[in-house]
Amino acid sequence: MHDQVADGEAVLVLNAGSSSIKFELFALEGGGAVSRLSGQVEGLGAAPRVIARDGRGRLLVDRRWQQGEAGPTDHASALAIIIEGLDRAAPGARLLAVGHRVVHGGPDFAAPVPVDAEMLRRLETFVPLAPLHQPHNLAGIAAAAERFAGIPQIACFDTAFHRSHAWEADTFALPPQFHARGIRRYGFHGLSYEFIARSLAAEDPVLGQGRLVVAHLGNGASLCAIRDGRSVDSTMGFTALDGVPMGTRSGQIDPGVLLYLLDHDRMSSAEISRLLYGNSGLKGMSGLSQDVRDLEASDRPEAARALSHFAWRVRREIGALAAALGGIDALVFTAGIGENAAGVRRRICAGLEFLGIRLDPARNQANEAELSPDGSAVRVLMRRTDEERMIALHVLALLGRAGQAAAGPDQIRSQ
């Protein structure tokens, strides 16, 4: 990694997954924070690969380890690779803090928090609520705390943005003691939704105070109703299984189906978990792939049906969230599918004309920021989300660096 960063203060953001760590370094310059280095170490334990780009998006490193080579195998060794790159690309950077994405903050955490050993143990109690994500998020924190001794580790929660929900949107129709125990609708992808909400408010203050339905559609998918920059409702609930179908996850399912599988098919909870988390959604329905590009290129009827079902469920949730808001001023598509899959957006919007939602075919095909015709009653937008930038904003605010954080996401941009 080259293209060195000048001496100065910086914030490192880490997003640890099951077999990868994404990273981004933000340098504090000119009253704002500038992305200087980003990338990821992926394929941990299998076929490791490190990719890094500078603040202009230029590729600096793309290294793969061949079978038999001693590559990174876990979060600690992946972090060592990242640190080596930081030492080369930003030798004079003074790290203020490390910000981490943590999927679940439970009922208590509605804002970022510094993490010490005691806090780490507390966050481990939420592992059963996010078994695919939380353990790896916390492993990333533990590895960073060991490598960056004395530097604050800040946890930023995907659930925090949704803690503004009213009781009616937060509860299940169960006896009250279950809600008191923390069995409630949390919502996820909050860092993405918060970034979109803040960005739109900076871009257009009137729209930022309006009624937005944001569709975060990627391998994990959900939708959120936002009014005046605050989450009103979300399609995900107690876990990241709820809501619309996803790449490999089922989305909403009649709980009676699970009882049937337990009692009639004698499936274990572990078998049901593997079914719902890893073998359902687009992959399970198509029998082919969880990748929308593969499904759109396929002539198999199962692939077409999977895409049709996905679009149907997303379209239905848009209507439900518009009802929760009492109307809709803009529909915003984001994340991998939402930002790039013109065909999926077209399928979703077909039939929503009664809400005032229409697509301009040419704009949609070109993945433009404005997808609806000029003068539409409801604007349809495509906006690129950036959870790492949102985490950096939170870290700066928590550190009291209001000058770098107060202006919003427009102050965190590429060089």
Backbone angles phi, psi at 26, to 5 degrees: -110, 120
Give every CB contact of residue 241 below 8 A, 6+ residues apart in sequence.
249, 250, 251, 276, 277
Q: Tell me if 95 sits within 8 A of 11, measured CB to CB.
A: yes
For the chain, what is the total number of helices (H) and then of strands (E)?
17, 14
Give the separation between CA 224 and CA 221, rounded to whole angstroms.
Answer: 10
Active site residues: 158
Closest by CA position to 74, among listed 116, 117, 120, 43: 43
**Radius of gyration from C-alpha coordinates of the chain:** 21
DSSP labels, 39-90? EEEE-TTSS-EEEEEETT--EEEEEEPPTTS----SHHHHHHHHHHHHHHH-
Tokens 């099951």, located at residue: 18
Closest by CA position to 220, among listed 269, 289, 290: 290
Q: Tell me if 241 sits within 8 A of 277, measured CB to CB.
A: yes
3-state secondary structure of 14: strand
Q: Tell me if 170 sits within 8 A of 184, measured CB to CB.
A: yes
Q: Tell me if 372 sits within 8 A of 358, measured CB to CB.
A: yes
Q: Is 121 exposed, middle or buried (0-12, 13-18, 19+ CB in 10 A)?
A: exposed
